[in-house]
Structure 1
Amino acid sequence: MTDINELVDALTLEEQVSLLSGEDFWSLPAIERLGIGKLRVTDGPNGARGGGSLIGGVKSAAFPVGIAIGATWNVTLAQEIGTALAREVKAKGAHVSLAPTVNIHRSVANGRNFECYSEDAELTAALAVGYIRGLQENGVSATIKHFAGNESEIERMTMDSVVSERALREIYLRPFEDAVREAGTWGVMSSYNRLNGPYTSDSRWLLTEVLRGDWGYDGVVMSDWFGSHSTADSVNAGLDIEMPGPTRDRGDQLVAAVKAGEVAPETIRTRALNVLRLMERTGALQGSAPFEERSEDRPEDRALIRRAGAEAAVLLKNEGLLPLTPGGRVAVIGPNAKVARIMGGGSAQLNPVHAISPWDGLAARLGEEALRFAKGCSNHRFEPVWSGDLQVAFYEGRDFSGDPVHVDTMEEAQAFWNPPLAGGKVDPTHFSARVTGTFTPEADGTYRIGLHSVGLSRLYVNGTLVADAWEGWTPGRTFFEQGCDPVLGEIALTAGEPAEVLIEFASLDQVGLGFAALYAGIGLPLGEEAIEEAVRAASEAETAILFVGRSGEWDTEGSDLEDIALPGRQDDLIARVVAANPRTVVVLQTGGPVEMPWLDDAPAVLQAWYPGQEAGHAIADVLYGDAEPGGRLPQSFPRRWADNPTFSQDPEVYPGQDGKVRYEEGVFIGYRHYDKVGIEPLFPFGFGLSYTDFTLTGLAVEAAEDGALARLTVSNTGDRAGSTVVQLYLGEDGAPLPRPVRELKAFEKLALEPGESREVMLSLPPRAFAWYDEGGACWRVTGGSYRIEAGFSAADLRQQADVEIGAAVIAKEAQR
């Protein structure tokens, strides 16, 4: 039986209900009676981790993170990445990728900005469409997330995002709308938060009236993990699948709700039919192949990731220093120089097939003999993880009583303990564990010990209690807000003398995301002498390259940043190295903006983001001119944290207060905010330098029956081939309500040879001119004269033209 309408009617009520919740963490149950296979999902969006833990597991290709893809402004490249990721998902035995993440950069401090594309809805929507098409044209479902209003990680599982319908329609829902109408996404994931009252997973307005009614969606809506909150309400609202399994609110409870008349049998049939449609689309419906997860290190993936990483790099400043010419000694300096910062933290992280650090990339190009390394300072949030040959013993109960029921090894003192734990021998909600091993210091000194956990923990060194996260444990800002804040201790150790380390752990009653976790780190703080060594290295080299920024400890799901200053003493390090060597390049790796008090003195600054596993190769390609710095900023960089759109004296605006965060700025986020309040950002939205020069000429805009068409010519006037992004902004001065000074409405990325010119045609559909009328529940074009500006950033607009457009009302169901 292959007709899903016949198949759903052949299912019993209990079988239909079984399809509406996970069987385990990553899959839905098979129904062998009718030959229905098992649907499997995997985390994304910068890879496919498979069914393993967030740490370790089968290795996967690590692609550039979302903000890096956003910086490419390249829809075709996003589709190529989606195509490659479809292969990765299949290699992990899955049918569904939990990606892409398209929440908007509302605040510069959101810990998950790295995973999202942009502050701009139109750029985000276009890239999402390309990415989804790449996945789904190859038989893998996208699951666009998080729907909707999840623009902060602070109390995200309970926070009520209070957003006007106009701001939702014009900004926050736009990527989801195009994902449905243009890309035909097969999956949507509801967010954790509340939206204007109800949880999104219980919101009939969001899941049924908007998603299925206004946009005509026929795919599946699944909850974020542990993000559903009810039985009848969520099913009636439009939530198809509760994840993960085993079920908490469905199963027998949902069957009982149907029999009690709280949920109509036809509603259950519709939800089950949606799931069967997804299984049919992805080949899972009759899938009978044995489950297998493979690691596939493909040369074509390495090449794509390297190319995409270079195309994402944004050249922020260049006083003629870049591209570099090989020759002379190069000082490679900074806390990110010998560490491959390839991804952010949280559910997007994975075990990469390999990871190329900047040092690796430069050594491969120049030879190690040409390089000199100096770390200078540290930038970690947590002490470096304790690693080695560690042993963990699990006990029944929380008091270490009796003999261990399971003993295993660990490579490092970092663990996510999800069910099934210890091969099913341990109750994951009621256990204790001892981790033992040694730490041999390389130098004498007072070492810092850091410990945080989801559960009670304490750490002993040579029998002495050094870090206690047991007494007075409370949840904080680690492990998705499920873990305590780091507890720090210090102990003096002698070089070469092994120290015995013991960690004791006891689980707590599981709430929220339902896991236990542990992290223990040991590190020797760097002092003034480390910066002095870096300054000496820089002064004795022809060129100094500084690799600074953050890491996935800072840019992570589950925790917003407290500010946008570079962590630790990095600002001091940069200032002193730049003063020591006028040929210094600063390479930033962050998931968003940082303050740059040293900018005026630095001759060259490159923003490299987290560009995936080929990071070091991609960065070296750009530094030495093998590749163009192809990126343009997808997010405005403010001069200081207080300039950003969510800064307010009212904490309810950000970070939220008493369970509510109010989007008071409405549609005025990102560059719209800076234009409105007259603040000049450090670097504007869309900005990025090239190794060549471009001009724009001849902008002409003609009204048409279906909107307007803009024409202009772009020319490469330099002596190198290069790429640029032509950006088209629209403004309306006479609107009956406040509108931004300008809004991005179309763009095109193009590569040109030296001296080459090309005509670019950009369409402006009726929706480009419209604003959302809450009172009339429609899209409305005021009519009259509209200003069209073309340029290379929101602040570099070189051509302007006006066009007359008639007044109109656009029905919700109309296509763009």
Structure 2
Amino acid sequence: MKYKDLIESMTLEEKASLMSGKDFWQTQDIKRLGIPNMYLADGPHGMRKQAAAADHLGLNPSLPATSFPTAATVANSWNVTLGEIMGTYLGKEAVAQNVNVLLGPGINMKRNPLAGRNFEYYSEDPYLAGKMAASFIRGIQSNGIAASVKHFAVNSQEERRMVIDTIVDERTLREIYLTAFEIAVKEGKTKTVMSSYNKLNGTYTNEHPHLMQDILRDEWGFDGVVVTDWGGNNDRVAALVTGNELEMPTTNGETDRDIIQAIKAEEIEEKVLDENVDRLLDLIFTTAGDKQDAEKEIDFEAHHDMAQKIAEESIVLLKNTEKILPLDKNKKVAVIGDFAKQPRYQGAGSSVVNPTKLDSTLDLLKEAGLNSIGFEPGYNRYGKKNKDVAKKALKLAKKADLVLLYIGLDEVTEAEGLDRSDMKIPDNQVQLLHALHKVNPNIVAVLSSGAVVEMPWISKVKGLVHGYLSGQAGAKAILRVLTGEVNPSGKLAETYPLHYKDTPSYHHFPGKEVSVEHREGLFIGYRYYDTAGVNVRFPFGYGLSYTTFEYTDIHVDTEGVTFTITNTGDVPGMEVAQLYIGSKSKEIFRPKKELKGFTKVFLNPRESKTVTISFDDKAFRYFNVKTNKWEIEEADYDIMIGASSTDIRLTGVLFIEGTGAAPPYEKERLPSYYSGKANHVSIEEFETLLGARVPESKWNRTKQLGYNDTIAQCQYAKGRFARFAFRLITFSHWFLRKIGKRDTANLIMMSVHHMPFRGMARMTGGIMNMPMLDGILMIVNGQFFKGVRHVLRERRQMLKSR
């Protein structure tokens, strides 16, 4: 242990006190021994250090900070250097605000387009997500502070996220849901990992020995700190044993006493606590820095400019019929859409940033050189229909040569804690688009959203630019792309299906009660669409440019693949070349192709460059569930270089010697997986893949409710008061949505309806403890008066003990 002498000088109580927070964002300090506290802050795309009373959901304002593009946006740049630069800038702002740990990046896989936090995650592909995350982490940590990669692991939905049991087979777990984390740990050298709320195959992730010990610590060699998501602790002693050092936020010493009691009762050895303390101390001392010398003044203008540059390289051109873009500055342009006035530039929830400044399209039209003849909002951004507003937009559109239409998803549709109900943009926007097309067919749409949307309306636009959530400088970045000052080079980091029903997890998302089954296995995103032959709107890796690129002269050997790219157009541009590999063998089921490398190349007109993408340790491997390790299958492999997953420009074949492991499957028992058509797998076939029985997915409505049951389950509680409370919550949610208070309605669902009872103690900073919660559960389970007496007695006892 690094800090053996210091730990030996600490009392048992002092050691235990370090294992949970001092308050909502700070860790405990021990002044007697010179151990400072740490400050942790949200920061996947910008600092969120709150100035007012602390909370986890972004309700209170934070100190001004640069709002950079979100992870879903930056992933479209496919530029790891840019990711590292963004991390460096974020780290500087963290240091200036005396933050030790920046809680990001988020790298959960985009299993389903409706997952409410997709805007905060990079991709549906683990290789791309891992590489982007590793670069981001290196940038943050270059400032002497820590990044915290999250949420570990398989946190694929927001509904019931604090208790949902994720059922996934071992191979899928390793190849799809853990690979990005592996890259973040091994290549990014992340100092902290945040555990997820959910269970994994029956065990909470921060108590999961296989996940936390076998894989994270032993296999990957992670020697940093694991911190819980806020309120994400179930059994503190079990979590400590698996190496979960830090529980956040504070429990006012309640879980510290659990640790002390377990040691005194000899349930665990004190050395387990010592090892956890040692790792936490290393994080504290290595991120403390010299606060006197910290760079307090940040050049926010320079940071704003960098946010603009990152956005410019992340914007994706999806359609450009008749070369309507770049815009002709001589043409009369009607600017329509509420998002042109008030941009949609970030997500909602714990990652909300208070920007240092915010660009607006309307304020920048003159600077961009556009001949704007006026602006009309056209629609209500939160979906209410207003015929008068639409009529004014149509009147303006008739006078213009071209309509610049800003559309997308609003702030309360994409939010932490909630999943979307569909893949559509609001109907009032779609109706406006159809009406505009009748009076002026020259429409360029600018789309703002952090996740995939359906586009049945796409035939009504000639140009489509997707800005995603492009941060505080996004409006100017988009205008520079529209006018041709910037040649778009972004490519999609996720697939856009034609219809939601086409998605591989359609039948098993979200898990509504006890569990969510990942029956599609490996076949998420393009791995499914390309293998099963399902047509999509836009494939993974797709993006247009104002120039064209030619790929030639492929050469493949055991080290990698070399080829030439030429800019065959008339303007400079950047191209993202993508390496896909697919096995020709049919002995082990695999997707048709998988991303195994990429590079971004800048080329002047008529310029050619020779490019090499090397093979790494992930190029040919698969996880063998019988040998319980990574293996390589001896086979011929298709080596594909593409401009997207479906636009393959060059191919080669390479024979690879294998490790000799026997195939782990009986082919005839897994027909869906061997065909790749894994969108509707039977429970019997999934159990064969899983190697175990699938647990019951429905609530047991006859049992008494306990700590890990949710407020939603009060609908069948034995206590009349609990059932009334559930109906009141349900009515409040309905009523608030009815009167247009969707953000407040969302908050009820997120922080009340789906909250487990233990959250009352874990998320209230010590206002309620677990003995008081026992009384609440008595009330819920039909013992009203006994429960009330118990709550009052335990509260008096808690206050007295303090």
Q: Normalized against structure 2, the TM-score is what?
A: 0.79
Give the C-alpha shift of residue 6 in structure 1.
2.6
Asked if 1:246 is matched to 2:243, the reply is no
1:313-332 pair list within 5 angstroms: 313-319=315-321, 320-332=323-335
Partner of 1:25: 24
1:533 aligns with 2:392: yes
> Do the aligned residues in 1 keep the contact of 2:385 with 2:428 (CA within 8 Å)?
no
8 Å Cα contact 1:779-1:809 kept in structure 2: no
Q: Which residue of 2 aligns with 1:308?
A: 310
CA distance in 1, matches of 2:593, 2:167: 25
CA distance in structure 2 between the aligned counterparts of 1:108 and 1:14, rounded to whole angstroms: 46
SS for the counterpart of 1:786 is strand
- Return closer, same or farther for 1:86/1:156 CA change in 2, 3 Å cut-off: same
SS of residue in 1 equivalent to 2:180: helix
Contact 1:230 1:249 (C-alpha < 8 Å) held by counterparts: no
SS in 2 for 1:251: helix
Contact 2:209–2:242 (CA under 8 A) maintained in structure 1: yes
Q: How does 1:85-234 map to 2 (within 5 A)?
A: 85-234=90-239
Paired AA for residue 530 in structure 1: V
Question: d(CA) in 2 for partners of 1:693 and 1:8?
Answer: 62
- Are the counterparts in 2 of residues 783 and 805 from structure 1 also a CA contact under 8 Å? yes
User: Structure 1 counterpart of 2:337, which letter?
Assistant: G
Q: Any residues of structure 2 matched to 1:605-620 within 5 Å, and which?
A: 605-620=464-479
Residue of structure 1 in register with 2:757 after alignment: none
SS at match of 2:427: coil
Distance 2:364 2:220 in 1: 46
Report the equivalent of 1:586: 445
Q: Aligned runs of 1:229-378 on 2, under 5 Å?
A: 229-247=234-252, 249-283=254-288, 296=298, 298-319=300-321, 320-366=323-369, 370-378=372-380
- In structure 2, the CA distance between the partners of 1:599 and 1:121, relative to structure 1 (3 Å rule), is same
Once residues 4 and 745 of structure 1 are traced to their aligned partners in structure 2, the CA distance between those partners, rounded to angstroms, is: 41
Whole-angstrom CA distance in 2 between matches of 1:95 and 1:296: 17
- 1:689 aligns with one of 523, 544, 553: 544
1:646 Cα offset (Å): 1.0
Task: Assess, with a 3 A threshold, how the Cα gap between structure 1 residues 744 and 85 changes in structure 2: closer, same or farther.
Answer: same
Q: Secondary structure at the match of 1:746?
A: strand
Give the corresponding residue for 1:387.
none
Task: Report the alpha carbon displacement of residue 790 of structure 1 after superposing the two structures with TM.
Answer: 0.6
Residues 228 and 244 in structure 2, CA contact (< 8 A), matched pair in contact too:
yes
Alpha-carbon distance in 2 for matches of 1:624, 1:201: 50
Q: Give secondary structure in 2 for the equivalent of 1:586.
A: strand
Asked whether the 8 Å contact 1:232–1:262 carries over to 2, the reply is no
Range moving further from structure 2, 37-46 or 570-579: 570-579
Quote how far apart the aligned CAs of 1:329 are.
2.9
Aligned AA (1:541): A
CA deviation after TM superposition for structure 1 residue 38, in Å: 1.2
Structure 2 residue 401 is matched with structure 1 residue 542: yes
Q: 2:524 aligns with which of 657, 669, 673?
A: 669
Query: 2-side partners of 1:301 and 1:578: how far apart?
Result: 39
Deviates more, 1:766-775 or 1:632-641: 766-775
Structure 1 residues 577-586 or 782-791, which shifts more?
A: 577-586
Question: 2:528, 2:363 → 1: CA distance?
Answer: 41
The one-character-per-residue Cα deviations of 1:208-258 (angstroms, maximum 9, x if unpaired) are 111001111000000000001112111112211000113465222211111
Using the TM superposition, give the Cα deviation of residue 731 of structure 1 relative to its aligned residue in structure 2, in angstroms: 0.4
Aligned equivalents of 1:673, 1:573: Cα separation in 2: 34
Match of 1:603 in 2: 462
- Between the aligned partners of 1:779 and 1:325, the Cα distance in structure 2 is 55
Distance 2:62 2:133 in 1: 28
Alpha-carbon displacement from aligned partner over 1:549-573 (angstroms, at most 9, x marks no partner): 0122111111111001111311111
From 406, 409, 420, the equivalent of 1:561 is 420
For 2:169 and 2:373, locate their aligned partners in 1 and report how far apart those are by CA, in whole Å: 55
**Residue of structure 2 in register with 1:51 after alignment:** 50
* Conservation of the 8 A alpha-carbon contact between 2:39 and 2:101: yes
State the match for 1:379 in structure 2: 381
- Taking structure 1 as reference, are residues 622 and 263 closer, same or farther at Cα in structure 2, changes over 3 Å only? same
Aligned-partner Cα distance in 2 for 1:294–1:357: 28
Work out whether residues 2 and 278 of structure 2, in 8 Å CA contact, stay in contact via their aligned partners in 1. Answer: no
Query: Would the aligned equivalents of 1:86 and 1:140 in 2 still touch at CA under 8 Å?
Result: yes
Aligned AA for 1:551?
D
Q: 1:498-554 deviations in whole A, cap 9, x for unaligned?
A: xxxxxxxxxxxxxxxxxxxxxxxxxxx542232222122112012210000012211
Quote the offset at 1:158 in angstroms. Answer: 0.6
1:699 aligns with 2:558: no
Q: CA deviation at 1:105?
A: 0.5
- Counterpart of 1:642? 501
* Structure 1: unaligned runs, 5 residues or longer: 382-524, 811-816
Change (3 A) 1:659 1:294: farther
Give, in whole Å, the separation in 2 of the partners of 1:686 and 1:109.
20
Q: How does 1:398-413 map to 2 (within 5 A)?
A: none
CA distance in 2 between counterparts of 1:338 and 1:15 reads 54
Distance 1:209 1:608 in 2: 41
In structure 2, relative to structure 1, the CA distance for the partners of 1:803 and 1:762 (3 Å cut) is: same
Cα deviation, 1:298-347, whole Å, max 9, x if unaligned, reads 22211110011111110000020111132343211012111121100010
Q: Following TM superposition, by how much is the alpha carbon of 1:68 offset from its aligned partner in structure 2, in angstroms?
A: 0.3
CA contact (8 A) 1:22 1:246 kept: yes
SS in 1 for 2:538: coil
Q: Is the 2:624–2:630 Cα contact (8 Å) retained in structure 1?
A: yes
**By how many angstroms is 1:630 displaced?**
1.9
Q: 1:88 to 1:766 in 2, by over 3 A?
A: closer
Match of 1:191, as an amino acid? Answer: S
Contact 1:58 1:293 in 2 (8 A): no
| Aligned counterparts of 2:236 and 2:149: Cα–Cα separation in 1 | 23
Superposition deviation, residue 76 in structure 1:
0.2
Alpha-carbon distance between aligned partners in 2 of 1:371 and 1:308, rounded to the nearest angstrom? 30
Partners of 1:589 and 1:207 lie apart in 2 by 37
Whether the 8 Å CA contact 1:695–1:717 is kept in 2: the answer is yes
Task: Decide whether the 8 Å contact of 1:47 with 1:85 is kept in 2.
Answer: yes
The code of the aligned residue for 1:613 comes to Q
CA RMSD of the aligned region, Å? Answer: 1.9
Which of the residues 628, 650, 655 maps onto 1:777? 628
SS at match of 2:619: helix
The one-letter code of the counterpart of 1:75 is V
Give 2:40's aligned residue: 41
1:578-606 CA-to-partner distances (Å, cap 9, x unmatched) read 33223311000011111112212311001
| Partner Cα distance (1:558, 1:591) in 2 | 15
Query: 8 Å contact 2:621–2:633 — kept in the other structure?
Result: yes
Q: Distance in 1 between matches of 2:253 and 2:124?
A: 36
Match of 1:758 in 2: 609
Stretches of structure 2 lacking an aligned partner (at least 5 in a row): 662-802
- Matched residue SS, 1:337: helix
Q: Aligned residues: percent identity?
A: 37
**Distance of 1:809 and 1:749 partners within structure 2:** 36
Asked if structure 2 preserves the Cα contact closer than 8 Å seen for 1:363 and 1:371, the reply is no
Asked whether the 8 Å contact 2:159–2:512 carries over to 1, the reply is no
- Partner residue of 1:460? none
| Cα distance in 2 between the residues matched to 1:248 and 1:615 | 44
The equivalent of 1:800 in structure 2 is: 651
CA separation in 1, counterparts of 2:660 and 2:346? 44
Equivalent residue of 1:768, what SS?
coil
Partner SS state of residue 536, structure 1: helix
Whether the 8 Å contact between 2:105 and 2:133 is mirrored in structure 1 is yes
Call closer, same or farther: CA 1:360–1:297 in 2, change over 3 Å: farther
- Local SS of the residue matching 1:714: strand
